[in-house]
Amino acid sequence: MHIRTAAVQTLRENELGAVVPPVHLASTFELDPATEDAPYAYQRGSNPTRAQLETVLAALDGAEHAFAFASGMAATAAVFSPLEVGDEVILPATVYGGTFRFVDRIFPQRGLTGRYVADLGELTDADFTEHTRMVFVETPANPTLRITDLRRIVELAHRHGAIVAVDNTFMTPVLQRPLTLGADVVVQSATKYLAGHSDLLAGAVTTNNAGLAEAYALAQKASGGVLPPQDSFRLIQAIKTLPLRLERQQANAIRIHEHLRERSDVTATWFPGSHSEAEARIHASQADGPGAVVSFELAEDLDRVAFLRALRYPAFAVSLGGVESLICRPATMTHEAMAPEDRSLAGIGDEMLRLSVGIEDADDLIADLDQALAAAR
């Protein structure tokens, strides 16, 4: 089944033939008094609607196990949950701001170490110690859209007994399926492209590793950050249009990137594969497209605030992946938890802007960017 079909048809087998799955709101279920068991007992541990969503998430990623959480960060926390005192995680300096905050503030409390490397592309055997338990990857990276060779990281990490976790929020399974490239676990903020309408917070974890799956089920049950049934249902419905939305968003983003790159008053642009030929080749070998986020920087003599005020369509707001375009300034918004030195190590300049391209008409978006650039002069 192709992913466009899987997004729509995965849940079609149900007893009433309903083309839309039912929502089960019960927090508790009657048990058989003899066995004191039932397929579902209590909502935190499992719920039929959440289980249906998890079936869809597993199908999209080609995974045996999927877990839905109340946010992308709850999902990321679950990915870190099997780590033990003394363990070390290697992360790229460009990691998502919330993940950076977790590593910065929560890791020390748990006796864990996060070790940042400026460029995962330059990771070598010498970067691994006997304590390295995980390499955490985001490719394309946020907001620099730099590319990491997933197969190479998997090979390196596995040689040193470390697992590879991939935050696939920017690509979604429509464009990139890290488990098929050997990664051990995939985490996504479903708040972004999967939900797609800027109206729902959710997270997803998928894996083919039974031991890890047990740890993530425990994270759901023991920590309780699970996705409620109504939100699970809404995410099931949203995912049906994910491939369509992303195809349009990506086509728009490709045109906008080309347009901004040509403008002399835009001094830099960032887009998957734009950093170097080598990164373009790697991205083409592991993903089916660049996605729909474009970062750029205005020429120094342009007034950034005037530009942002003049934009009619992209809202100045954090987040991404929704049908409506959004624009933000990573240094002060999504990545403000990072120290200025760390941001500079990661290549995130104070003036960089990150545009999440929506499904609007590309001509309208380009005309809007052009008039705002004129207003910024």
Ligand X SMILES: *Cc1c(COP(=O)(O)O)cnc(C)c1O
Question: Pick the catalytic residue: 50, 61, 87, 96?
Answer: 96
Question: Pick the catalytic residue: 192, 248, 343, 354?
Answer: 192
Distance CA 40, CA 32 (A): 11
- Give me the 45-64 binding string for ligand X, x by CB under 6 A, dash otherwise: --------------------
Residue 336 or 361: the one with the smaller Cβ distance to ligand X is: 336
- Choosing from 133, 146, 177, 192, the residue that interacts with ligand X (CB under 6 A) is 192
Residue type, 49: T
Question: Pick the catalytic residue: 61, 87, 167, 231?
Answer: 167
The residue with its CB nearest to ligand X is 72
- Choosing from 142, 249, 250, 325, the residue that interacts with ligand X (CB under 6 A) is 142
The count of residues interacting with ligand X (CB under 6 A) is 15
> Could you give the count of Cα atoms lying within 13 Å of 259 in the half-sphere of its Cβ?
17
- In degrees and rounded to multiples of 5, residue 200 shows phi and psi of -160, 135
* Residue 33 near residue 165 (C-beta atoms within 8 A): no
Residue list 201-230, contact with ligand X (CB under 6 A): 201, 203
Residue 49 or 94: the one with the smaller Cβ distance to ligand X is: 94
Does 231 help bind ligand X (rule: CB under 6 A)?
no
Residue list 311-370, contact with ligand X (CB under 6 A): none
Does 96 help bind ligand X (rule: CB under 6 A)?
yes
Residue 226, strand partner residues: 69
Closest CA to 133 of 206, 185, 97: 185
* Residue 310 near residue 376 (C-beta atoms within 8 A): yes
Closest CA to 170 of 197, 152, 198, 147: 147
Element holding 326 (H helix, E strand) = strand 326-328
Among the listed ranges 16-24, 26-34, 184-192, 281-289, the one in contact with ligand X (CB under 6 A) is 184-192
Q: Is 96 noted as a catalytic residue in this protein?
A: yes
DSSP 8-class letter at 318: S
* Residue 8 near residue 62 (C-beta atoms within 8 A): no
Q: Is 44 noted as a catalytic residue in this protein?
A: yes
How many Cβ atoms are within 10 Å of 8's Cβ, its own excluded? Answer: 18
Does 167 help bind ligand X (rule: CB under 6 A)?
yes
Among the listed ranges 70-78, 123-131, 258-266, 294-302, the one in contact with ligand X (CB under 6 A) is 70-78
- Choosing from 53, 54, 72, 331, the residue that interacts with ligand X (CB under 6 A) is 72
CB of 358 to ligand X, least distance (A): 16
Among the listed ranges 46-54, 188-196, 215-223, 268-276, the one in contact with ligand X (CB under 6 A) is 188-196
User: Which residues make Cβ contacts (< 8 Å) with residue 363, sequence separation at least 6?
Assistant: none
Closest CA to 167 of 140, 145, 188, 191: 188
Annotated catalytic residues are 44, 96, 167, 192
Where along the sequence are the contacts to ligand X (CB under 6 A)? 71-73, 76, 96, 98, 138, 142, 167, 169, 189, 191-192, 201, 203
